[in-house]
């Protein structure tokens, strides 16, 4: 998974590149065969590095996976926020911002399908060491949507009757599940088609438009 930020300094840049290789190796292996079945040796081999390099960058396989979740959801959150800010800068409405965020979410999932599958699967587990971290980063992503909903209510664009936390979670969940369904069962559809369908749902269910 590529980072959205550049790292200064030759050494730190090389380390960041190595961590990116490890993230990519881990996410694909764990998506293929599960967390428990994936070994550090396999992650190192897939990344093209020595086993010791894994432990130099991450204390354990669990820490690597926790940081992978934090990194991936952080990229998603940044893409959602950028979409909302760009729409606001262009003078768009809050509903336009929500629509742009839906597309940004679909683009992210299309780019990182294995990560998205892992993220959705982990949301339903309660016995993982990284559960608290997952809840924190999940809330950071949902909070971006909550902010736009809150602004829409304040401006009168959206109904005051909206339950902000549930509506934000529902919108994020809609994008995640629809995108995974698209990739698994309707791969012949284009991203534009999927976005158009979710956009119409947004317009009818959130803004009250026809």
CA pair distance 172, 142, nearest whole angstrom = 7
- Sorted by where each starts, the structural domains of the chain and their CATH numbers stand as 13-58 (1.10.10.60), 68-202 (1.10.357.10)
Could you tell me the pTM of the whole model?
0.86
Mark residue 48 as left, alpha or beta (left: phi above 0; alpha: psi -120 to 50; beta: remaining).
Answer: left
Confidence of residue 141 (pLDDT cuts 50, 70, 90): very high
Per-residue pLDDT at 6 exceeds 70: no
Residues 6+ apart with CB under 8 A from 191: 103, 106, 107, 110
Kindly state the DSSP code that residue 36 receives in the 8-state scheme: T
pLDDT, tens digit, for every residue of 39-53?
999 999 999 999 999
């Amino acid at each position: 998974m590529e980072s959205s930020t550049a790292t200064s300094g030759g050494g730190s840049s090389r380390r960041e590149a190595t961590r990116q290789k490890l993230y990519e190796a881990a996410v694909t292996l764990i998506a293929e065969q599960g967390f428990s079945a994936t070994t550090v040796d396999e992650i190192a081999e897939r990344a093209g590095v020595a086993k010791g390099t894994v432990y130099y960058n991450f204390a354990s396989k669990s820490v690597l996976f926790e940081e992978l979740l934090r990194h991936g959801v952080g990229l998603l959150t940044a893409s959602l926020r950028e979409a909302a800010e760009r729409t606001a800068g262009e003078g768009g409405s809050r509903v336009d911002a929500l629509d742009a965020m839906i597309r940004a979410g679909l683009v992210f999932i299309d780019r990182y399908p294995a990560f998205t599958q892992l993220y959705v699967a982990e949301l339903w587990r309660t016995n993982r060491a990284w559960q608290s971290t997952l809840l924190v980063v999940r809330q950071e992503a949902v909070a971006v949507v909550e902010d736009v909903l809150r602004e829409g209510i304040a401006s009168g664009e959206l109904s005051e009757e909206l339950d902000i936390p549930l509506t934000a979670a529902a919108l994020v969940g809609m994008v995640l599940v629809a995108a995974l369904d698209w990739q698994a069962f309707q791969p012949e559809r284009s991203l534009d088609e999927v976005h158009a369908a979710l956009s119409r749902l947004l317009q009818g269910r959130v803004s009250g438009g026809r």
